[in-house]
Every structure is written in C-alpha cells, then in structure tokens.
C-alpha cells in the first residue's frame, strides 16, 4: 500500500507553497506556528502524519535564522508524530555562501546547517541551484539539487533569440553555469567578467574577457543579493560596447536597496524566480518573476512515486 503524500508550508513563502500544492492537486496540510513574545516558536501539526510521506516547504531566506529554526522545529514535530519519511523542500538554501574556509578561525556554516537539518529528522532534501554544488556532500542524507534551466530557458529563448546574444558569467566560478545556458541557446558566445578586489574586499576593477561589442549580453548567476556587483558588471559591459544588457539570477535575495539599484541601472531586465518572495517585486518594471512552483510540484511527485528526478532536466 502506497504511503499518502502530504505537504506542509512554513511561513517563508506561503504563496509558493500553495502553488506547489495546487500543482499536485492537493490541499496544504494544517500547520499552526505561533511566535511568543520572547521570540520562541511553537508548532502544532493539525493533520495525522503517521506513516505518511511528508514534504515541508521552507526557504531559509530573510529573516534566515528565524526561518531556519522554524524549519527545524517543524521537522522535529513531524518526526515525533511518526511520519514515515520527511523531505525538507528548501527552494532557497541560506548560508550556502559560507561553504568553505577562506581564512583561519571562520566556520563552514553551510555544513553546520546541513547537520542541523539532518539531526532534526529530515530524511532527504529537495532544493535548487545551490550556490556551491559540494554542499550536497555536507548532508548524510539524499539531496536533490534541481537546476532552474528547464524553467528559465523557454522564456529566455522567446525574449533573447538574437544571433548577437552573449552569455556572461559574472566571475570565473560561474563559467560552467554560463556554458550550460549557452548550450541551450544555440551555442551562444560566452564572456567572463574578471573582478579585482581592493583591500576592503570591495570590487575595485572589472574587465571583460570575451567580445561583447555590438552584442546583447545576458549575465547569468545563481543569486542576486545587494545588486551592487551586478550593476557594476552591467556598466562595464556597456563600456565594452554591448548594445543591451540583462541578467538572469535564480534566487532574488535583493537585500537592502537592491531594487532601487536595479531600477536606476542600465539593465533592460532582471529575470528571477519565486524561490524567495518579494511583495513589491511586481511594482519594479525591470524585474521579471518566473515561477518554479510547478517544477517543484513535479519533483515532489517524482520523489513520492520513487521516480527519477533527473528526468525533469531532459525537458529543456
């Protein structure tokens, strides 16, 4: 007898969770989360989960510590309620940029977060576009790291089908990602931005490696945070003769005054997904949001049915 599927949502991205449940043709499970005056959280699972295949959707986006702790408490509650299997669905995995020691006496926080999720009782993790692929190895449980390409490429093909398109990596570490995008866009040309940092770790100089003169440039990255480096890269590409510049970043962290920076920049468009919610994102004319909800619904169904998740990537 197949285990029953049930999906719960944390409070980080409830609209996304509702869309995922809709894609699965089910209602979200009942979950009451109360925050006390001292900041502590209490969780009450309103549905029977004994012997069921449970998925908990929660991005660890801002406020990251609160959303992470909420996820851990929910997982613990489900484990103690005898769920058969618990999958932590984390569309945006916070702390992913702290994946290695760049200097002495600093933590590897991504590893710590992986240990916390595992210890809380998760049996597997479903996420997308981890900042560093090796984070999958920080877990001692299965991790499915989806690639947003199948969701983003159809829109990019429609909007940027020019023969003059150049895919730009914002740094050397993102070249492989840029190459994947280019291969799905008629083997578009590639360019890389070489960043030089000053003594205060701020980007002091940028140089473009590759020919962008007279070209339409699309910068691709896994996330956009403050937007400062991205805006500077845009200006550098125009200085090198680009005719138009847009960007595609999977996770819209967009902290601080990032929206204002993007709005005032020379960018034609910033393409993002809904792994992180922004109430005012639709008011920003330069930001195009493409939903990952149906993609995640398909991945959840495949995991529940014990089917191959990698098959989703063949649809590009």
- Residue 302 exposure: Cα atoms within 13 Å on the Cβ side: 16
DSSP state of 199: T
pLDDT at 281: 57
Q: Tokens for 221?
A: 């990255």
The pLDDT of residue 115:
98
295 DSSP assignment: H
Running DSSP on this structure, what letter comes out for residue 30? P
Q: Would you state the pLDDT for residue 114?
A: 98
Per-residue pLDDT of the chain (316 residues; tens, 9 = 90+): 579 999 999 999 999 999 999 999 999 999 999 999 999 999 999 999 999 999 999 999 999 999 999 999 999 999 999 999 999 999 999 999 999 998 999 999 999 999 999 999 999 999 999 999 999 999 999 999 999 999 999 999 999 977 799 999 999 889 999 999 999 998 899 999 998 765 554 666 899 999 999 999 999 999 999 999 999 999 999 999 999 999 999 999 999 999 889 989 999 999 999 999 986 555 457 899 999 999 999 999 999 999 999 888 776 6
In sequence order, which residues have a C-beta less than 8 Å from that of residue 148 and are 6 or more positions away? 128, 129, 250, 273, 292, 295
Sign (positive or negative) of CA dihedral 206, 207, 208, 209: negative
Cα–Cα distance, 233 to 65 (Å, whole number): 30
Give residue for tokens 């996304």.
16
The residue annotated as part of the active site, out of 195, 286, 288, 294, is 195
- CB-facing half-sphere around the CA of 75: CA atoms within 13 A: 24
Using alpha carbons, list the distances in angstroms from residue 248 to 9, 60, 177: 27, 21, 11
Spatial distance between the Cα atoms of 145 and 299, rounded to a whole number of angstroms = 10
Asked if 196 contacts 206 with a C-beta cutoff of 8 angstroms, the reply is: yes
* pLDDT (0 to 100) of residue 224: 95
User: Cα dist. 161→144, 167, 220, 243, 244 in Å?
Assistant: 31, 12, 16, 15, 13
195 classed as catalytic: yes
SS3 per-residue string spanning 237-302: HHHCCCCEEEEEEEEECCCCCHHHHHHHCCCCCEEEECCCCCCCHHHCCCEEEECCHHHHHHHHHH
């Amino acid at each position: 007898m197949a285990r029953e599927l049930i999906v719960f949502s944390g409070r980080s991205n409830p609209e996304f969770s509702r869309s995922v449940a809709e894609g699965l043709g089910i209602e979200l499970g009942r979950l009451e989360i109360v925050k006390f005056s001292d900041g502590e959280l209490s969780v009450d699972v309103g549905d029977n989960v004994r012997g069921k295949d449970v998925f908990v959707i929660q991005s660890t986006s801002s406020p990251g510590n609160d959303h992470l702790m909420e996820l851990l408490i929910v997982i613990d509650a489900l484990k103690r309620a005898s769920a058969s299997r618990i999958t932590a669905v984390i569309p945006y995995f916070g702390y992913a940029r702290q994946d290695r020691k760049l200097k002495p006496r600093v933590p590897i926080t991504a590893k710590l977060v992986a240990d916390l999720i595992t210890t809380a009782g998760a049996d597997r993790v479903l996420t997308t576009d981890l900042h560093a692929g090796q984070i999958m190895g920080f877990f001692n449980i299965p991790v499915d790291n989806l690639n947003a390409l199948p969701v983003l490429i159809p829109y990019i093909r429609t909007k940027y089908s020019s023969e003059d398109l150049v895919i730009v990596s914002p740094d050397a570490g993102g070249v492989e990602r840029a190459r994947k995008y280019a291969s799905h866009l008629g083997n578009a040309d590639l360019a890389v931005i070489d960043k030089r940092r000053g003594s205060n770790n701020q980007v002091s100089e940028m140089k473009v490696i590759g020919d962008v003169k007279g070209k339409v440039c699309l910068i691709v990255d896994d996330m956009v945070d403050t937007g400062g480096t991205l805006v500077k890269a845009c200006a550098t590409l125009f200085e090198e003769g680009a005719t138009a510049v847009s960007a595609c970043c999977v996770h819209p962290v967009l902290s601080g005054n990032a929206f204002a920076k993007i709005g005032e920049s020379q960018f034609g468009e910033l393409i993002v997904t809904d792994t992180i919610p922004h109430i005012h994102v639709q008011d920003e004319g330069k930001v195009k949001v493409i939903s990952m909800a149906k993609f995640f619904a398909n991945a959840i169904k495949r995991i529940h049915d014990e089917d191959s998740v990698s098959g989703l990537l063949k649809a590009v």
